[in-house]
Chain A
Amino acid sequence: MWKGFLYLFRKDFRLMLSSKFFLLALGSLILYSCYINFIYVGLDQHIYPVYLYDPQNKQENRSEYITVTESRETLEKLCSDNYSVGIDLSSDEPEIYMLSTGMATTDHYRKLWAEAVLNSRIDKQSEIIGTNTKEMKNRREITAEFLFFELSAVGFLGLASMLFKEKQMGVIRVHGILPVSKSAFIVSKLTLLFISDMAFTVLMTFINLGFSAGMTILPGVLIQAGILSLIMALVGFLCAVRLPDFKQFSLFYLILAIFITTPVFLAGQTDIQWSWIDYHPMYHLFTAMKSAYFGMPVYQLPYYVICTVVIILLFLLAHKTLSCEMAKEG
């Protein structure tokens, strides 16, 4: 029954090639890598600039954080970004001028900062307990996010679009009466997508983290990418077989991409604390992927047991759904 697997695999490869799936993946790889290397790694937020208007030169020892301005108007203009702080020493009493950020705590800190800078009372003393630089952290973080998005949304779409093509052509019905196992029909597609996702993961990691940093974390990343790839491919397979047309499928895709991944990104990317996020299955896959990129792979046995059970259940469900669909169409 599995002797036709190779033919199925070759047919699926040709279908994917003709649907420009690999070209799209390559395009995404280039787009993501350009964004990471040319834009994201350089992103930073500077400390609140302090502008000083001191016509009588009252301040002699000026801190490195101070920029002198020529007039009060210039000072006000420079502070109009709701971020910078101005100090006016033109009158007897020093005046701190600033536009509110809308956050009382931040405004209060800006005031303290300006006063400290004015009085040159700033020493640098803190202990570094982490191992990442800002650039490396940015690279690991954004690569993990793009890979997660690519595997969970785009790969899902790729497999489903291939299956919809077969559905439209009516050849799924033909497979129902061929001497080839339904499992082989599913596994052939899964294998192809799995190989493609693994190749994408390796390239994405090496291009954006560099070879040596990439090599140290690659095994852990590949495990997480493999789990995500299989789960999403099986979900994509199920939806493509169940849903009657591609339009309904794309609707589901939009919901998945926006409503399911957005809270995951928000919870994983910002300080927002949601207790319910622990019940969001994608959140665990996302944090596992991110941890792998930061060299702290998840070692909890229950996580892997649950993932394996989910993959097996999804496979059985996909098998059953495919059988029903073949019978329905026949």
Chain B
Amino acid sequence: MERLKYQMKNIRRDKMCILTFLLPIVVGIAIHFLSDLSLQNIGGTSFAGLKGNLSEEIVLWLEQIGTYTEYETLDALEIAINEPSTQMIGVLENGHGLHTLLSGDELEVNKIIGNTLPSLYQNRENITGAKTTLIPLKTDNSGIKSLFIAITLVTAMFMGCTFNAMNMIGEKEDGISFINQILPMSVKTYIIQKTALGFIGGFLSTLITALICIRINPMQIIPFMIIMILSAYIAALIGLYIGRHSEGLMIGLVYIKMIMIVFLAPPILVYITVSPSSPVFYLSYILPSSATFYALMDILSGQSQDLWVAIIILLSHSVLWSIVYLLVERHHRL
């Protein structure tokens, strides 16, 4: 414990590690205070019209199904619709009803909404008014917000690798690795010490972020903690690999950058675009971060039936990569 205390002190004074530790927490605070309205802008449908063209009734109807923005001129409206970063649908009234303008590069959902909006409006009176059963979200976290929270938490967990990787690279740069060779310290002690550094960093950062931005069902606290512990452990193992194989800070930073891209982008993309029954979805479990991300999304939406799958996958990754590391270490020593 005494040794760990000084190692922690050492990384605590490392600005790079402090920033890595605080980054997810700051993002967590930002998400916590981000109002639903501003998130609505990201996830909802956007409509735009020409000033004085649409009646108040139409504008009210549009505002019930999305956000509405008004432009002064037709040119400004067309520029806004064609702006590649938006999915804006132009709405005009031409005497016979609504007329919609699309850029042509929209996602299928917005293309169909734009195409069918005039008939939807025209037939609004004839709608049967069927009985509607709307099951509210099991948690306070809205869809987009859950996605942001899950991304932040996965980032916090896997950023844990930065703590021990930077510590090991720093030791190489400062020559401490030479002293380590003549200290009465076994390889096992060294591995445990460095793993603990990465684990504590990643775990604490995730825990604080989670306390700030999520409220979960008490029944899910234990699976959530297990997932957090296993993910932080795997991150610490990754840190060990990076620290072991990086000769300098530059190489270490490149490795961390690559790990962060490879560990974060595929789970998000697969989650958004691939059906859970698809083979690609199962294949994505090759990355431990996928199991963490899917489990967090389940927890945030109040579901818990698939959590044990994520735990088993994370456990398998933990055991597999620990064995691989020990074998590599043994091979190196021989």
Interface size on B, residues (CB 8 A): 81
Give the CA-CA distance A272 to B148 in the complex, in Å: 15
**A195-236 toward B: CB 8 Å interface, digit per residue (1/0)?**
000000000000000000000000000000000000000000
Interface size on A, residues (CB 8 A): 76
Minimum Cβ distance to chain A for residue B152 (Å): 12
Give the CA-CA distance A105 to B65 in the complex, in Å: 4
A-contacting 9-mer, from B81-89, B231-239, B308-316, B326-334: B81-89
Q: Which residues of A contact B102 (CB under 8 A)?
A: 126-130
**A and B contact pairs by CB, cutoff 8 A, 11 listed:** A31-B261, A94-B130, A103-B40, A112-B124, A116-B127, A121-B119, A122-B119, A122-B120, A127-B100, A131-B104, A157-B253
**A122-145 toward B: CB 8 Å interface, digit per residue (1/0)?**
111111111111101110110000
A106 within 8 A of B: yes
Q: Which residues of B contact A323 (CB under 8 A)?
A: none
Most B CB contacts (10 A, CB to CB) among A87, A102, A118, A255 go to A102
8 Å CB contact of A109 from B20, B65, B132, B143? B65
Q: Which residues of B contact A124 (CB under 8 A)?
A: 115-116
**B102-128 toward A: CB 8 Å interface, digit per residue (1/0)?**
111111111011111111100110111
Sample of 7 further A-B pairs with CB below 8 A, known A31-B261, A157-B253: A19-B250, A39-B269, A133-B105, A251-B19, A253-B253, A254-B20, A258-B23
Q: Which residues of A contact B107 (CB under 8 A)?
A: 44-45, 134
A289 within 8 A of B: no
Q: Which residues of A contact B114 (CB under 8 A)?
A: 126
B142 near A103: Cβ-Cβ < 8 Å: yes
**A69-89 toward B: CB 8 Å interface, digit per residue (1/0)?**
000000000001010000100
Give the CA-CA distance A137 to B87 in the complex, in Å: 12
Knowing A113-B120, A134-B105, the reply to whether A272 touches B81 (Cβ < 8 A) is: no
Give the CA-CA distance A202 to B269 in the complex, in Å: 28
**A244-274 toward B: CB 8 Å interface, digit per residue (1/0)?**
0011101101110010000000001111110
Minimum Cβ distance to chain A for residue B48 (Å): 11
B133 near A96: Cβ-Cβ < 8 Å: yes
Minimum Cβ distance to chain A for residue B122 (Å): 8
B131 within 8 A of A: yes
Q: Which residues of B contact A105 (CB under 8 A)?
A: 40, 44-45, 63-67
- A116 — nearest CB in chain B belongs to which residue? B120
B136 within 8 A of A: yes
A47 within 8 A of B: yes
| Interface hits, B117-171 → A, CB 8 Å | 117-120, 123-124, 126-128, 130-137, 141-146, 170
Q: Which residues of B contact A43 (CB under 8 A)?
A: 269, 272-273
Q: Which residues of B contact A128 (CB under 8 A)?
A: 102-104
Q: Which residues of B contact A294 (CB under 8 A)?
A: 84
8 Å CB contact of B108 from A45, A141, A161, A247? A45
Knowing A116-B120, A130-B102, the reply to whether A270 touches B42 (Cβ < 8 A) is: yes
Q: Which residues of A contact B116 (CB under 8 A)?
A: 113, 116, 122-124
Q: Which residues of A contact B23 (CB under 8 A)?
A: 258
- B103 — nearest CB in chain A belongs to which residue? A130
- A99 — nearest CB in chain B belongs to which residue? B135
A271 near B103: Cβ-Cβ < 8 Å: no
Knowing A39-B269, A116-B123, A250-B253, the reply to whether A103 touches B143 (Cβ < 8 A) is: yes
Give the CA-CA distance A122 to B81 in the complex, in Å: 23
Knowing A119-B126, A246-B250, the reply to whether A255 touches B143 (Cβ < 8 A) is: no
8 Å CB contact of B45 from A94, A95, A99, A109? A109
Q: Which residues of A contact B131 (CB under 8 A)?
A: 93-96
Knowing A39-B269, A127-B99, the reply to whether A136 touches B44 (Cβ < 8 A) is: no
Give the CA-CA distance A275 to B144 in the complex, in Å: 23
B16 within 8 A of A: yes
- B135 — nearest CB in chain A belongs to which residue? A99
Q: Which residues of A contact B19 (CB under 8 A)?
A: 251, 254-255
Minimum Cβ distance to chain B for residue A268 (Å): 6
8 Å CB contact of A127 from B20, B101, B135? B101
B15 within 8 A of A: yes
Q: Which residues of A contact B103 (CB under 8 A)?
A: 128-130, 132, 137
Knowing A102-B143, A105-B64, the reply to whether A97 touches B133 (Cβ < 8 A) is: yes
| Interface hits, B1-55 → A, CB 8 Å | 14-16, 19-20, 23, 36, 38, 40-46
